[in-house]
């Protein structure tokens, strides 16, 4: 979906208070930010500023139908994200955005939908799942296939199962490795595609996760007959300005912050896996 024009003042972070914090996994935290009414499209991101440390692009992970609470799920993988994960209710956080393109929820009408997420890649897809749940009667079969490293690292699992049960979404979770007390599936997330019910010719797929996971998933989707024009991926690059000015996130002809992060596969498939970009 096309990116929106950035709002005036888009380079200045807006100071906001952290209103809530929930630990999701050992290294991942969900922050609720008091940013007033904050409209966004599923898949868009904000630049979040940990004051005195730095700024980083983080997808919005809340329910777009409830824009009164801005929600971000952050995994601690570096200095800035670590500082964000340590924020507590009442602390200040800087917010710029929303930026970028969104998931093609509007194209889901009458089609089967596969939502395929790996690791913290579930966070950018969570708003799309909420949006699909709201449009459930207009959409065909919906499957949410979620992969994680271990059972302890599955993101939002209870909430997604509840949402799935309520909205008639087939939620399947798999982990890369487990002990025998795990009753779910073991295996990489592309192996779940063979267990989902969908008609390839009328299927819309949304994929987000580590890029290697997305490449393997896309290969399996192609093998099963889903067209490239019906597959959407969310890419992650080194976003700085958020509006296509600085060029840090360039991927060939694509500026990921402006043209993405959600892109139709045929726009980027030739670039995925190219070491030089």
Partner 1 sequence: MTTTAADLATGITLFAGLEDRHLELVAGCARLAHFPAGAFLCREGRPADALYVLRSGRVTLEVAAPEHGPIVVQTLTEGDTLGWSWLFPPYRWHLDAVAREPVAALAFDAACLRAKSERDHELGYQLMRRFSQLMLQRLMATRLQLLDVYGRGSR
Q: Tell me the pairing of strands 45-50 and 92-99.
A: antiparallel
**How are strands ordered across the β-sheet holding 185-186?**
185-186, 170-175, 142-148, 112-118, 203-208, 231-234, 262-264
Residue 212 found at the interface with partner 1 (CB under 8 A): yes
Q: Using DSSP, state whether 85 is helix, strand or coil.
A: helix
- Selected binder of partner 1 within 14, 21, 32, 185 (CB under 8 A): 185
Q: How far apart are CA 46 and CA 244, in angstroms?
A: 14
Residue 42 found at the interface with partner 1 (CB under 8 A): no
Q: Measured from the CB atom, is 12 or 177 closer to partner 1?
A: 177
Residue 121 found at the interface with partner 1 (CB under 8 A): yes
- Selected binder of partner 1 within 191, 246, 269, 271 (CB under 8 A): 191
Spatial neighbors of 28 by CB under 8 A, at least 6 apart, are: 73, 74, 75, 76, 85, 120, 153, 155
Residue 188 found at the interface with partner 1 (CB under 8 A): yes
Residue 170 found at the interface with partner 1 (CB under 8 A): no
Residue 86 found at the interface with partner 1 (CB under 8 A): no
Residue 7 found at the interface with partner 1 (CB under 8 A): no
Residue 216 found at the interface with partner 1 (CB under 8 A): yes
Min separation Cβ 248 and partner 1, Å: 17
- Selected binder of partner 1 within 43, 97, 104, 119 (CB under 8 A): 119
Q: How far apart are CA 204 and CA 228, in angstroms?
A: 10
Q: How far apart are CA 124 and CA 147, in angstroms?
A: 14
Contacts with partner 1, residue ranges (CB under 8 A): 27, 75, 77, 118-121, 147-149, 153, 174, 176-180, 182-188, 190-191, 195, 209-213, 216, 219, 236
């Amino acid at each position: 979906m096309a990116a929106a024009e950035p709002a005036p003042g888009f380079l200045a972070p807006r100071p906001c208070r952290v209103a809530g914090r929930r630990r999701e996994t050992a290294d991942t935290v969900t922050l609720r930010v008091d940013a007033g009414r904050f409209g966004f499209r599923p898949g868009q991101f904000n630049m979040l500023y940990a004051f005195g440390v730095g700024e980083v692009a983080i997808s919005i992970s809340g329910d777009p139908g409830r824009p009164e609470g801005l929600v971000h799920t952050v995994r601690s993988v570096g200095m800035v994200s670590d500082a964000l994960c340590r924020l507590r209710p009442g602390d200040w956080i800087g917010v710029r955005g929303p930026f970028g393109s969104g998931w093609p929820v509007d194209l889901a009408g009458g089609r089967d939908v596969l939502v395929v997420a790996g690791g913290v890649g579930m966070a950018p897809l969570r708003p799309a799942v909420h949006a699909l749940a709201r449009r459930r009667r207009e959409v065909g079969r919906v499957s949410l296939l979620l992969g994680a490293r271990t059972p302890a690292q599955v993101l939002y699992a209870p909430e997604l199962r509840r949402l799935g049960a309520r909205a008639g979404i087939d939620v399947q979770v798999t982990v890369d490795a487990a002990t025998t007390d795990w009753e779910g599936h073991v295996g990489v997330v592309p192996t779940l595609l063979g267990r989902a019910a969908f008609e390839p010719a009328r299927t819309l797929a949304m994929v987000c996760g580590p890029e290697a996971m997305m490449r393997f998933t896309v290969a399996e989707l192609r093998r099963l007959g889903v067209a490239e024009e019906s597959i959407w991926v969310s890419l992650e690059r080194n976003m700085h300005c958020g509006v296509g000015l600085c060029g840090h996130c360039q991927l060939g002809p694509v500026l990921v912050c402006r043209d993405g992060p959600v892109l139709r596969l045929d726009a980027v498939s030739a670039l995925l896996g190219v070491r030089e970009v």
